[in-house]
Amino acid sequence: MALEISDRYSAGELRAMARRERNGRVASRMLALANALDGMSRADAARAAGMDRQTLRDWVVRYGADGVAGLQDRPKGHPAPRLTEGELAALSNVIFRGPDPEKDGISTWTLSELCRWIGSHLGKSLHPASLSRILRQNDFSRQKTRPSHPAKDPKAQERFKKRGSARP
């Protein structure tokens, strides 16, 4: 049994609306409906609009339910964030505090080490590439502070700045 196309608009009105429509996808759907209303077979009308017959049937159903507004693309859903606001705050705190060599066993945070920390403390498994994307979205960069030798002498640095490499 053939599915009836709503007669809200005539084929000519649908074609006129398709000419004014800015979205090409919606315009092609309107033209397919107009062709079908003019008596073209569903398969030919769908092929002329660049879709298959089943897709045209789906658009006929949406047009019958919602009118021309039903021919618009529906917004796509977005996946839930991998880390909540609280977890991001905890991660930021850990990053800014830096690792404790005695407790954490490392001297600097790397993506893989942060992923390991997230797994042990937050109970979530993240790939380093995913964590990199999350950190960049939250305004973190990959830059590290300049390394500093633990036995540096600030007085010797000042003397060097004043006199160069001359000995006292």
Evaluated on CA atoms 117, 118, 124, 128, the torsion sign reads: negative
Q: Are residues 65 and 94 in the same domain?
A: no
Q: Are residues 66 and 92 in the same domain?
A: no
Q: What is the pTM of this model?
A: 0.50
Residue that finishes a domain, picked among 71, 97, 113:
71
Q: Are residues 65 and 107 in the same domain?
A: no
124, part of any domain: yes
| 138-152 CB burial, b ≥16 within 10 A, e <16 | eeeeeeeeeeeeeee
Q: Are 29 and 66 in contact (CB under 8 A)?
A: no
80, part of any domain: no
Helix (H, G, I), strand (E, B) or coil at 23: coil
149, part of any domain: no
6, part of any domain: no
Q: What is the pLDDT of residues 5-64, one digit of tens each?
A: 888 899 999 999 999 999 999 999 999 999 999 988 989 999 999 999 999 999 999 999
Binning pLDDT at 50, 70 and 90, where does residue 106 land? confident
Q: Are residues 135 and 94 in the same domain?
A: yes
Q: Are residues 65 and 92 in the same domain?
A: no
Q: Are residues 89 and 55 in the same domain?
A: no
Q: Are residues 67 and 96 in the same domain?
A: no
Enumerate the H helices of 122-166 as residue ranges. Answer: 128-137, 154-163
4, part of any domain: no
23, part of any domain: yes
25, part of any domain: yes
Token output for 80:
């839930």
Structural domain containing residue 35 = 11-71
Total number of domains constituting the chain: 2
Nearest to 4 by CA among 51, 68, 63: 63
In this model, does residue 166 exceed pLDDT 80?
Answer: no
106, part of any domain: yes
